[in-house]
A and B are shown apart, each in its own frame.
Chain A
Amino acid sequence: MSSFEDLDLQAQMLLSYEVEQFLYAEARLLDTRQLDAWLDLLTDDIHYWMPIRRTTTAREVDREFTQPGAMAFFDDDKRTLTMRVDRLGHGRAWAEDPPSRTRRLVTNVEVLAVDGNDIHATCNFQLYRTRLNSEEDCWVGRREDTLRRVDGELKLARRHIFLEQTVILAQNMSNLF
């Protein structure tokens, strides 16, 4: 794994720009419900994971997040994510009918490391959702994404999502992060 810092400044800027543009375009696909196009951005071996977070004492803060293999809000592979997208086309996906309105803000994008074709990046996000007349949900969190260069195109190979909530203050998470 090479350090991003080892690249010269121009290469760093180009790579950061490429990663940012990918993440912005991806967020736009989700906001505009172009979910089949979103699925095309995923590698076949994607791991899409949101652990459960708990309030712990400072002394035991290493127990804050559940670990892989334990319980999680999302622990999905490509097949499961495809099921989530297919679900919405089935006509009785009540949580999204009428559709919710979502807007994703992606910010603080940092490339952390480059490993062959894999680019490890982190970003902060806000996902704002309204529903029906007056229902409002807001999630803020951090993501750890791995983008992989496949045939010259960037794909999403790993997404780990860390929310700033323990009890989810929403009736569901029928959306993608």
Chain B
Amino acid sequence: MNLAQHSARWYNPDTGTLDRRIFTDADIYRQELSHIFGRAWNFVCHESQIPARGDFFMSYIGAEEVIVVRHRDGSIHVLLNSCPHRGNTVCRAELGSTRSFFCSYHGWNFDLDGTLIGMPNEVDFYRGEFDKSAWGLGSAAQVASYRGFVFATMDSAAPPLDEYLGWVGRLGIDMLAGKGDLEVVDGIHKNRLQCNWKLAVDNLFDWYHVKVSHGTSMRLGLLPEETISADAQMVILGAYGHGIGGPGLKPGQLEALGRRKDGDTSTDAEWFDMQAAWRTQPGVREQLGETGVRSLGHPSIFPNLWVALTNQVCLRIPRGPLETELWWFTFMPTHLTPEQRRTAIWSANHYFGPAGFLEQDDGENWSHSTRGAGGQFTGARPLNFAMGLGQDYVGEDGGQHSIETVVNEHGQRWTYQNWQEWMLAANWPELMATGSPPPDGLV
């Protein structure tokens, strides 16, 4: 028996019910920063955003600003943006290129790998006895890339990135990276919501809300009915809380969809061209696997990265228990024709982001859900995540495991169950020992 099966402090896996105070409680939030964001491999940027030496991009690990920078030897460093002298920030731009990071307070100067390389009047005032090597910028304990996606963890005990992602996390990134050599398109959509970050994460698995929340987008033709595929859903659950949930094609269906674009210029043909046709190309099935190649779902890389079907990923960055920033990174395969590129960028600009047709209608739902979690009376009442609980089975195809069913809440339950296990584990060794393996059989 593992710890999670014994513990239902906030989330009860037997009933699929959740204590909604996890969305507002300040103590729980502080614990999330240490137990989840402080331990996890956090996506910080894509290598194409910092191609040259000295290029940097300001990102976050949890609620804390980090500088992701390309060093002169080509390596990528993830530095805490805080001078060890008085704590001032040493970088105030969101992106750019620099030779060093210079503190505007007293002039301490840091190399691209964070090493302290200069201090005004070092000999005069510190009498030449200061050990600069001990006073560089703090940095991530581990930095690694998977197919150009740069991740960092503050925890030296975290397993290697490849192992952390596991086949489900890797598949989630492969579903984007498999489209070709990727480059981030200039410009990250950023906006701030008055909601808890987990409600935004939970939503990526939610194919129940689409018809209601995004009804206008469906009527405008932006979301063809069949792309929601309410009756043919596939959920893939991975170690440490990763998952993929959404439409799942039946074996053989992919080839038919991939041929739809021939002679058809309708919106949904374009959609299927973008989502399905590339998967029929040589080598893609081998890379994604028999199950993965049939998933048109939303990958979630725990804790807060969503890989979206619009060639985008979205980070849900906590800015306090009641506030979240959404950051949309948009990727384009370099081989696209100018016309394909325009179409794909149109989709990215118009589906998501604060003015996006779909996303406009999400924010208020999440902020009001957060507000409801903080009520004296409403906050005391549990939330229901029981859709499909105990009614589906994990199957296997080509060595990959998935649940094939109708619209469900397996992905959300898996997220909260893992969230709880991360929160209750004292450290990485304990999490690895007590964390639930992805389920088998009845779920």
Contacts and interface: CB of A to CB of B under 8 A. Distances in A.
Do A and B interact with each other, yes or no? yes
Interface of A: 50-52, 54-57, 60, 63, 66-67, 69-75, 80, 83-84, 86-87, 90-95, 166-174
For the complex of A and B, the 5 pairs showing the least CB-CB separation, nearest first, are A71-B187, A171-B363, A92-B215, A168-B191, A66-B187
B192 A170 contact: yes
A174 B342 CA distance: 23
A86 B212 CA distance: 17
A166 B187 contact: no
B94 interface: yes
Contacts of A167: 190-192, 325
Given A75-B346, A171-B191, A66 B186 contact: yes
A71 B353 CA distance: 10
Interface string B103-140: 00000000000000000000000000000000000000
15 contacts: A52-B188, A52-B189, A56-B93, A56-B94, A57-B98, A66-B186, A66-B187, A90-B215, A92-B212, A92-B361, A93-B361, A167-B192, A167-B325, A172-B359, A174-B355
A122 to B, nearest CB: 22
Contacts of A174: 355, 360
Interface residues of B, number: 44
Nearest to B92: A55
User: Dominant SS at the B interface?
Assistant: mixed
B153 interface: no
Contacts, number: 124
Contact of A86 (B95, B96, B220, B359): B220
B387 interface: no
B307 to A, nearest CB: 17
A73 B330 contact: no
A67 B186 CA distance: 8
B94 A166 contact: yes
Contacts of B357: 83-84, 87
Contacts of A92: 212, 215-216, 219, 361
A70 B185 contact: yes
Contacts of A86: 220
B389 to A, nearest CB: 28
B354 A73 contact: yes
A71 B186 contact: yes
Contacts of B191: 167-172
Contact of B355 (A54, A67, A70, A172): A172
B350 A54 contact: no
B367 A171 contact: yes
A54 B348 CA distance: 19
B186 A70 contact: yes
Given A52-B187, A56-B96, A166-B94, 15 more contacts: A55-B94, A56-B93, A66-B186, A70-B185, A73-B189, A73-B354, A75-B349, A80-B350, A90-B220, A94-B361, A94-B364, A94-B365, A167-B192, A172-B354, A172-B359
